[in-house]
Chains A and B, each alone.
Chain A
Amino acid sequence: MLIYLLKRLLTTVPVMLLVGLFVFSLLFVVPGDPAAMIAGDQASIADIARIRASLGLDRPFPVQFWNWLWRLAHGDLGQSIFSDQPVTMLIGQRVGPTLSLMGMTMLVSVGLAVPMGVIAAWKAGSLIDRFLMALAVLGFSLPVFVVGYMLAYVFALNLDWLPVQGYVPMDDGLWPWLSRLILPSASLGCVYVALIARITRATMLEVLTQDYVRTARAKGLGSASILMIHALKNASVPIVTVIGLGIALLIGGTVVTESVFAIPGLGRLTIDAILHRDYPVIQGVVLLCSGTYVLINLLIDLCYNLLDPRIRY
């Protein structure tokens, strides 16, 4: 198991290098001279030359890439062109809200969707099943921002139960932090609840027709242990896959949610960076997302290992 883990970690190295190369090339594949673009419209030729030299853009590509990697390895992602602050610091400031939002969304989604799917499969064809699956279709078809504005309108503006928008770190108190995450997580989570509930229902339905479920019933087990122990564990591999993919997709979803609810997270940082053509920041964010994605993939694979004894490396 440990050897497998090390092997898997090693295989992520070339993947991350490739991602790095791609991210770095970003600067070169966009049309025009990066230095001129960075300098802006009013810059003089001298300004551009200075920027070019400071970024090392006058050196050959492999040398530049190597230098960039070297700095990266030391935790240096460069300076923001726009605010002149280190990219790592900018990202560090914004990571908290985004992680809170993503974590909360996934927690709530999985916590809701898996029981929903299990119940729907257990009571397949019944009214409850149809009701839950209709909800899932609804969750699928409504865009995040529509749900977001609707929730904010009802629960924040009309009922005044929750704050309309903003973000407060957890250090300022659990409830202030939590209360500002509920509506964004709910609107962002809709799609995931729908997705995970449907997958759970489908895999559970298949598992429930298996011979070993009949054996479990013949043993005198109750519905709860049959569903949760005998069936769900067998259905878990596809469910975990979708949850993992969901986290990856979530990174995109947070951008919209953060702007709807004015959360100062990575999504906002990315949008601002794109608008300002702040390439070092864009590179940093993309690198972070890719890294997260690779890490999640690794975690999913490890989960397979734990959940299904037939999958052994």
Chain B
Amino acid sequence: MALLEVENLQTHFRTPEGVNRAVEGVSFHVEEGETLAIVGESGCGKSVTSMSLMRLIPPSAGRIAGSIRFDGRDLLGLPEREMRSIRGNDISMIFQEPLTSLNPVLTIGYQIGETLRLHQGLSAAEARAKAIEMLTLVGISEPARRIACYPHELSGGMRQRVMIAIALACNPRLLIADEPTTALDVTIQAQILDLMRDLKQRVGAAIVLITHDLGVVAEMAERVMVMYAGRKVEEAPVAQLFKTPRHPYTRGLLGAIPRLGSSLTGRQERLAEIPGQVPSLKNRITGCVFAGRCSQADEICRTIAPGLETKAPGHFAACHQALREEAPS
């Protein structure tokens, strides 16, 4: 049994213009200690997926349906109080914006120690000692002094290190990192990634890594899931996805022609631009969601929604065309 098993996840937002189907029937799993990358264009539902895993979507804004099983427990069925004991403890999260994700009026020592006191029942002194230890772990110098600092006294990179320290304080089994390096400048990005890779080996937590950066995917992840318009369109082991992307959308993201090797080494390589518009998530879509932007789309694509099919061992794609392409071999 996998650590995290998500089945048919649907997160719908009520908006004045109608229901926004931000996540529409996504299924995936994460093994213990494994890193799964989620990639896709802006607005495809990556953040909403990750927030849904933690049940952080306010009920007044949207509804989460489907099943999320963590360590065998169905998170969607848990009472809020039990869900709280999982958040920050068994599953924790790193956000994209280190500048705004830390509370400006509380010291970083308090913000790290808070989770420890809450979930592990440490005393204030014990929490302080552990907070210093965590700051050392994430590579912040003079931790005993920095513990009394407020976020505005730290640089962006240091703040993201503090976020990582908060997330790892309780030894979570699953870490969700939503674009942890996007807001940082290039050299700091590299440092934070090195830190995350290092910690991944040391802490052994499974990671769900959301990113735009294919270099990050290649370096960090074992498997990749590609999302488009709230759906999973392809999933494969990293090397395989870079070598033989099956879905035209994935190929578009990788830059149309699969440049072998270059994608794996070029760390700063970003997702390529694909011409066309993402369909509105507020209407029901018949046929393939990508048909409108796909050069290979035909009548079948426009009328029948493709299901996820196994294209190779461990490699799934939702595309009618991909199937035909591979048929002869």
Contacts and interface: CB of A to CB of B under 8 A. Distances in A.
Which of B89, B102, B103 has the most C-beta atoms of chain A within 10 angstroms of its own C-beta? Answer: B103
B310 interface: no
A221 B114 contact: yes
B103 A212 contact: yes
A233 B106 contact: yes
Contact of B105 (A125, A211, A216, A234): A234
A183 B138 CA distance: 58
Interface in B73-97: 84-89, 92-93, 95, 97
Contacts of B100: 210-212
Nearest to B97: A211
Given A233-B106, A234-B104, A214 B56 contact: yes
B104 A309 contact: yes
A220 B118 contact: yes
B141 interface: no
Contacts, number: 71
Nearest to A219: B88
A218 B97 contact: no
A211 B103 CA distance: 8
Chain B interface size, as a band, is 20 to 34
B105 A307 contact: yes
A211 B152 CA distance: 15
B115 A219 contact: yes
B312 to A, nearest CB: 36
Interface residues of A, number: 21
A59 to B, nearest CB: 56
B22 interface: no
B162 to A, nearest CB: 11
B196 interface: no
B104 A211 contact: no
Contact of B152 (A218, A222, A309): A309
Interface in B88-146: 88-89, 92-93, 95, 97, 100-106, 114-115, 118-119
A212 B102 contact: yes
B84 A215 contact: no
B87 A308 contact: no
A220 B152 contact: no
A234 B95 CA distance: 20
B119 A230 contact: no
Contacts of B60: 125
B105 A215 contact: no
B95 A214 contact: yes
Consensus secondary structure, chain A interface = helix
A220 B103 contact: no
B87 A217 contact: yes
Contacts of A210: 100
B54 interface: yes
B101 A221 contact: no
Contact of A222 (B54, B84, B86, B119): B84
Contacts of B85: 220
A106 to B, nearest CB: 24
B137 to A, nearest CB: 18
A125 B60 CA distance: 10
A229 interface: yes
A7 interface: no
Given A220-B87, A309-B152, A230 B95 contact: no
A310 interface: yes
Contacts of A221: 84, 88, 114, 118
Nearest to A236: B105
Nearest to A308: B105
Interface in B232-284: none
Which of A218, A221, A229 has the most C-beta atoms of chain B within 10 angstroms of its own C-beta? Answer: A218
Interface of B: 54, 56, 60, 84-89, 92-93, 95, 97, 100-106, 114-115, 118-119, 150, 152, 163, 166
Given A218-B92, A221-B88, A310-B150, 10 more contacts: A125-B60, A211-B95, A211-B101, A212-B102, A215-B163, A218-B88, A220-B85, A221-B118, A230-B106, A310-B152
22 contacts: A211-B97, A211-B101, A212-B102, A214-B56, A215-B101, A215-B166, A217-B56, A218-B88, A219-B87, A219-B88, A219-B115, A220-B119, A230-B106, A234-B105, A307-B105, A308-B104, A308-B105, A309-B105, A309-B150, A310-B104, A310-B150, A310-B152
